[in-house]
Structure 1
Amino acid sequence: MSKLRVAAVGTGNIFRSIHLPAWLAHPEAEIVAVCDAYRPGAQKIADEHGIKDVYEDYREILARDDVDVVNVCTPNLYHSEVSVAALQAGKHVFCEKPDAINPVEAIKMADAARANDKVLMVMRNNRYRPVSQFLKSYVEKGNMGDVYTGRCGWLRRRGIPGKGGWFTTKELSGGGPLIDLGVHMIDLAIWIMGNPKPVAVSGSVYTKFAGNDLSDSEHSSFGNKQADGTFDVEDLATGFIRFENGASLQIEFSWASNVETEGRFVELRGTKAGFSLFNDDLKLFTEIDGTLCNIVPQLPKDSGGHKNNINHFVDVVKRRAEPIFVPEQGVDMIKILSAIYESAQSGREVRLD
C-alpha cells in the first residue's frame, strides 16, 4: 500500500490542531516536510513528530519529486498563490477554507486543477459530519418536499481570532466573520439544498467591537494577537441570498455581538418538512397522519468532520471515491461572499448571473 507523501505549507494553529492529527492518523499518508515563514513554529512540529525536512519557502517543496500532496494552511491571501503553484507543479492540493479572498483567485485555483488533472479540495468539514450526511440524504429522498427558504449563521458573543494580526487585516484575510465563518454554514446550507445556483445577494457589515478585548470563545486563541495591529474588517455581517430556482437564504455571522451565547445553526424549510440544526442538536418538523410532529433523530456520534474530510480527500486521490466537493462550488462560494461585501458597500443588491 503506497502512502501519499504530504508537505504542509503553513503550520499555525489550524494546522497543528486540525490538519496535523488527521494526517498522522491516516494509514495511507505520511508528512515528509513542513514549511512556514516562521521557521521556529515549523521546526517545533517537525521535532515533535519526526518530520525530517523544514522549509521557509514553499517553492522548495514544489521542486521535490517525492511530494504528492500539498496541504495549504497559510493566511487566506496566499491560498490561491500556493495552491495554483502546487497544482502546476503536479501536486494534489488540500487547502484550508476559505478557497480564496476573491473570485478571480478562486477561478485561478479551479482552472489550475482542471488544466493539470489534479485533485483540489478545500476544507468543508461540516459536510462530513453524520448529522449533515443524514440531512443531505433526507432532502435528496424528497422527505422535505420543495426546500424553498431557510437561514444559517454562526454567532459569537466575544470571539475575535488573532485580534490585530492577519485575521483582522483585510489585505491578508479578505474579511472578518463573513469569510471566516460564513464559508462553513452557507456551504452546509447550500449543499443540503442541492447546490442551487446563486443569482443575487444583499448584505450589511458592521465593525463595533474593534476596541473590545473581552473573550468567551475558545476560537479567540486562533491566530497571533498584536496589541497595536490592524482591525479593518467587520465583526458582524448579515445578508440574503437568492437562487435561480427561487429559493432564498438568510445569513448572519459575528465574531462579537451582544447575544446570549455562541452558536452555529442551519434551518431549512420545505413543503413537507423543515429542520433546525443548532450546534449539534437536530430537530425535524413535519406532519404524520394529519398531526404536526417534532422529531429528534438518533444519530451516530460525530467522529470528526475535519478528519473525515481529509479521509475523503485521500479516497478521491486514490480514485476510490467521487469528490463530494468540487472547485466550482468553491468559486460560487467566494462569489457570494465577495458580492455581499460589495452590497454592504453600495447599499444595493448585487447580481451574480
Structure 2
Amino acid sequence: MTKKLKVAVIGAGGIFQWAHSAPLKNHEELEVVAIVDIDLAKAQAAAEQHGIPQAFSDYRDVIKMEEIDIIDICTPNLFHSEIAVAALEAGKHVFCEKPDAVNPDEAIKMQQAAATSGKVLMVMRNNRFRPASKFIKEWINGGNLGEAYAGRCGWTRRRGIPGKGGWFTTKELSGGGPLIDLGVHFIDLAIWFMGNPKPISVTGATYTKFADADDIAGSEHSKFGEKSEGEGIFDVEDLAIGFIRFDNGASLQIEFSWASNIEQEENFVELRGTKAGFRFSNGKLGIFGESNGTVTDLVPHVGEDTGGHGENLYHFVDVVQGRVNPIFTIDQGVDMIKILSAIYESARTGSEVKL
C-alpha cells in the first residue's frame, strides 16, 4: 500500500489559496495536517476553511514534528531558502513556490541541503505541465523543431502591480519586480524547450515608472498580494528587458512588466528552429514551417489549459513516492536565479554580465 504523506503548509496567503489548496486537498496520497502563517489569525482562518487540524505562527514548530513528510512553502520570496534549508535538514521533502530564492547564494544553499539530505526539493514550474507545453516538448523531442537557435519570451501587462506597497514591491522581501515574479515562469519554459542549454552571459535594463500611479492599484492583478494600507514601499522595477546568450550559441530575448502602455496583456514563448518555429501566446499555440515547398501554419488542439499548478504538485508526489524521475532539477533552478540576478546587475551597471 502506498504511504500516505503528511503535509505542512508554510504561508496561508493568496498563492496557497489559489494554487495549492485544492490540489493538496484532492490528492488521495496527501493529508494536510498543519498550516503556518506569521499572522496566526490568518493561519487559523485557513485551517478552518480547508479542514486542516492544526495552525501555527512559527514554521519551526512544524518542521520538528516527526510525522510531517512534506513542507509546502507559500511565503514571500525572501523566506523560501531559509525555510527550505531548515526543512531539508530536518529530513522533510520540500515543495516551494517560485522563485527558488532571491539570489544565487541562497539557491545554492538549497541545492546543497537537498543533496546532503537525500530528500526531494522541487520548485514550482507549473507552465511545464500545461497541455500545450507538454505537446510542444514532445513535438520538439520528435525532431520537428530542428536546432533551436533563437527565441523570445515575456509576460507584459498593461496594468497589474500585485499588492502595491506590500511585499511584492519591497525588494528586500521579493528580490525584485516582474522579472523575478513573472520572468521565472517563461524564461524557464523557453530554456526547457531549448533543451536546457547553459547561460553564459546576459544584458538587461530595468525601469520603475509606475510607482506613483494611483490607478494601478485598482487593476485585476493587484488583487494578488496584500497592498499596504499606507504608502508602503515600491523599490523594484515595473519593467525589465534583456538578452541571454547560451553555451551552444543560442540566444533569448526577454521582456516582463507589471505595467506598460501597450495594447494588451500577453504572456508568450516563441522559438525559431531550423526545421520549424512556434509561438505559444496567451494559451494559444501555433507552429510555423513549410511542407512541399509551401509555408504552413499549424494550430494544434491540445485541450483545456489547466495552468499546470496541480499537475506540478502531483508530479512532485510521484517523485517522492519513487514512481518517476523529476522533470525539474535543482541545477536548473540555480541557473535561473543566476540569470535573474545577473540581469539586475547588468541593469545596475549598464554592462553585459558574464555567468
TM range (shorter): over 0.9
1:94 equivalenced with 2:111 (yes/no): no
Partner of 2:272: 269
> Over residues 31-52 of structure 1, what are the superposed CA-to-partner deviations in whole Å (9 max), with x where a residue is unaligned?
0000000111110111122211
- Asked if the contact 1:72–1:96 (Cα under 8 Å) also holds between the matched residues in 2, the reply is yes
What is the root-mean-square deviation of aligned Cα atoms in Å?
0.9
1:116-265 alignment runs, 5 A limit:
116-215=117-216, 217-226=219-228, 227-265=230-268
Partner of 1:66: 67
Q: CA deviation at 1:151?
A: 0.2
Partner of 1:36: 37
Partner of 1:107: 108
Aligned equivalents of 1:176, 1:24: Cα separation in 2:
31
Q: CA deviation at 1:218?
A: 2.9
Partner of 2:293: 290
> Over residues 160-184 of structure 1, what are the superposed CA-to-partner deviations in whole Å (9 max), with x where a residue is unaligned?
0000000000000000000000000
Aligned equivalents of 1:126, 1:76: Cα separation in 2:
19
Aligned equivalents of 2:118, 2:322: Cα separation in 1:
13
The one-letter code sitting in structure 2 at the alignment partner of 1:171 is: E
Aligned equivalents of 1:122, 1:239: Cα separation in 2:
24
SS at structure 2 position matched to 1:181:
helix
> Over residues 307-330 of structure 1, what are the superposed CA-to-partner deviations in whole Å (9 max), with x where a residue is unaligned?
000010000000001000011100
The one-letter code sitting in structure 2 at the alignment partner of 1:348 is: S
- Asked if the contact 2:127–2:307 (Cα under 8 Å) also holds between the matched residues in 1, the reply is no
Partner of 2:350: 347
Q: Which moved more, 1:210-219 or 1:64-73?
A: 210-219
What is the total number of aligned residue pairs between the two structures? 352
Aligned equivalents of 1:155, 1:245: Cα separation in 2:
28
Aligned equivalents of 1:231, 1:127: Cα separation in 2:
31
- Asked if the contact 2:150–2:250 (Cα under 8 Å) also holds between the matched residues in 1, the reply is yes
Partner of 1:80: 81
- Asked if the contact 1:217–1:262 (Cα under 8 Å) also holds between the matched residues in 2, the reply is no
Structure 1 unmatched runs, 5+:
none
SS at structure 2 position matched to 1:250:
strand
The one-letter code sitting in structure 2 at the alignment partner of 1:351 is: K
Aligned equivalents of 2:9, 2:50: Cα separation in 1:
13
1:337 equivalenced with 2:346 (yes/no): no
Aligned equivalents of 1:13, 1:81: Cα separation in 2:
20
Give TM-score, length-normalised by structure 1.
Answer: 0.98
Q: CA deviation at 1:303?
A: 3.4
Relative distance call for 1:220 and 1:187 in structure 2 (3 A) is same
Aligned equivalents of 1:329, 1:164: Cα separation in 2:
31
Structure 2 unmatched runs, 5+:
none
Give TM-score, length-normalised by structure 2.
Answer: 0.98
SS at structure 2 position matched to 1:214:
helix
Aligned equivalents of 1:217, 1:184: Cα separation in 2:
21
Q: Which moved more, 1:133-142 or 1:154-163?
A: 133-142
Aligned equivalents of 1:218, 1:127: Cα separation in 2:
25
The one-letter code sitting in structure 1 at the alignment partner of 2:220 is: E
Aligned equivalents of 1:8, 1:217: Cα separation in 2:
29
Q: CA deviation at 1:139?
A: 1.3
SS at structure 2 position matched to 1:42:
helix
Aligned equivalents of 2:174, 2:84: Cα separation in 1:
16
* Identity within the alignment, %: 63
SS at structure 1 position matched to 2:297:
strand
Aligned equivalents of 2:56, 2:165: Cα separation in 1:
26
